[in-house]
Structure 1
Amino acid sequence: MSGARRVLREHALGVVFGVLFVLALVGQGLAGHADFNQQQVTDGLLPVSLGRYLTSADFAVDVAENWQSEYLQFSLYILATVWLLQKGSPESKPLDRPGTESDKDQLVGAFARDDSPAWARTTGWRLHLLSNSLGLVMGGIFALSWLAQSIAGVAAFNERQLSHRQPPVSWAAYLTEPDFWNRTLQNWQSELLAVFSMVILSVYLRQRGSPESKPVGASHTSTGIEG
């Protein structure tokens, strides 16, 4: 197997989803541009170019509100599964292992292996940072995406206000507007429903060969095992 084919095989999951993300974002930009211009014409305004739309607050807020809800889902899931358990689900840890687990279980300190990250063999803040790095980064991206949504959202909201001869609002005032919370909560509820469904359905349903599923022959009460 050639080097390029081996790299692609070993990183296929990331490559495929990265490409699908780009295609979906491009599709959103094109469809959003067409929808925006239809609304412009309906309102008696001139249509805008694709470049103008892609740099507009309307496009930015649509993208940011989806990103923040996705990273909220992952952040909550990463942190909740440290302590919370679900009997029978491969999405849960075994029922006898709630919490942050021992150094031996986590392969840190004296139990680090030769191929462990360098900071796994340290103590103090470096080990603490590595031990919580995934949750911190996911939570940080969520916070930044939500901030971006609020900034782009107030700009888009004020454009609509001005087009209807209504006074604009400040960023702080926008955070109390129904528009902001409608955009936020309609995404949060869908992400939380998806996680809830995955946790519960994976107790009883199987997908052969997927690490998100238990082995096909595993009992419904088997917890924390993957196929």
Structure 2
Amino acid sequence: MSGVDEPTYGFLRNNALSLTFGGLFLITLGGQALSGVAQVNAEQEANGLGRVGLLDYATSSSFLVDVMENWQSEYLQFFLYVFATVWLVQKGSSESKEPGKEGTESDRDQQLGRHASAGSPGPVHAGGWLTAVFSRSLGLVMGALFLLTWAASAVTGWAAFNSERLGQRQDPVTLVGYLGEADFWNRSFQNWQSEMLAVGSLTIFAVYLRQRGSPESKPVGVAHADTGQTG
């Protein structure tokens, strides 16, 4: 590749998916901040108030609560999906194991114990609790990230909620009190329902629709009823 040395090109090629989405994440987060502060300043000017700086807005509870709500709903989606696909199947979907293979599968299937290879991760060879934790580490991390971002959305939502109440000359509520407010649960459910719709749609669409070359799709010529195959 002209202008790029081979090790760098190899790194970029081998990590293109994560690098691309990482870059898109930063671009869209920046776009959210820029459009958000523009909206706030339009409202400020309409009310005869001073403008808000980008940094002040990006560190405000009103911006952070929107970010945290989106993050926690995404991690909830992945947490539920990782664990649900252990036990639940959808015949014909590339997003599902084949019917009859529900459960944690055998050591042979999972390359554990005497079935581990030389290239298996270190925790697999360690055995005991380390292997047990590692074998569930993806779901555990997704669950932990969901809880952390949900807690962050609760705190930032509480701050934003009290800011509005003070602006209306109402007494602020405690954090525990905010957890019982309709505002908190409305914010949570409106994000969660969209994630459940997205996962359910992809699962069933993958039975009947194809995307050539994508591992999220079955091969184009595979029968609708074939399950668990990827293109």
TM-score, structure 1 normalization: 0.97
In 1, Cα distance between equivalents of 2:14 and 2:122: 23
1:149 corresponds to which residue?
153
2:201 corresponds to which residue?
197
Matches for 1:1-227 after TM superposition, within 5 Å: 2-227=6-231
In 1, Cα distance between equivalents of 2:76 and 2:10: 34
5+ residue gaps, structure 2: none
**Counterpart secondary structure, 2:230:** coil
In 2, Cα distance between equivalents of 1:40 and 1:162: 17
* Deviation for aligned residue 1:44: 4.5
In 1, Cα distance between equivalents of 2:83 and 2:40: 38
* Deviation for aligned residue 1:34: 1.1
Q: Which amino acid letter does the alignment assign opposite residue 45 of structure 2? A: V
* Deviation for aligned residue 1:206: 0.2
**Counterpart secondary structure, 2:117:** coil
* Deviation for aligned residue 1:74: 0.3
* Deviation for aligned residue 1:14: 0.5
In 2, Cα distance between equivalents of 1:77 and 1:51: 36
Q: What's the CA shift string for 1:133-154, capped at 9, x where partnerless?
A: 0001011000000000000000
Structure 1 runs (4+) deviating above 4 angstroms are: none
Identity of aligned residues (%): 55
In 1, Cα distance between equivalents of 2:72 and 2:46: 31
In 1, Cα distance between equivalents of 2:151 and 2:101: 36
Q: Is the 8 A contact 1:110 1:121 kept in 2?
A: no
**Counterpart secondary structure, 1:82:** helix
Q: Which amino acid letter does the alignment assign opposite residue 181 of structure 2? A: E
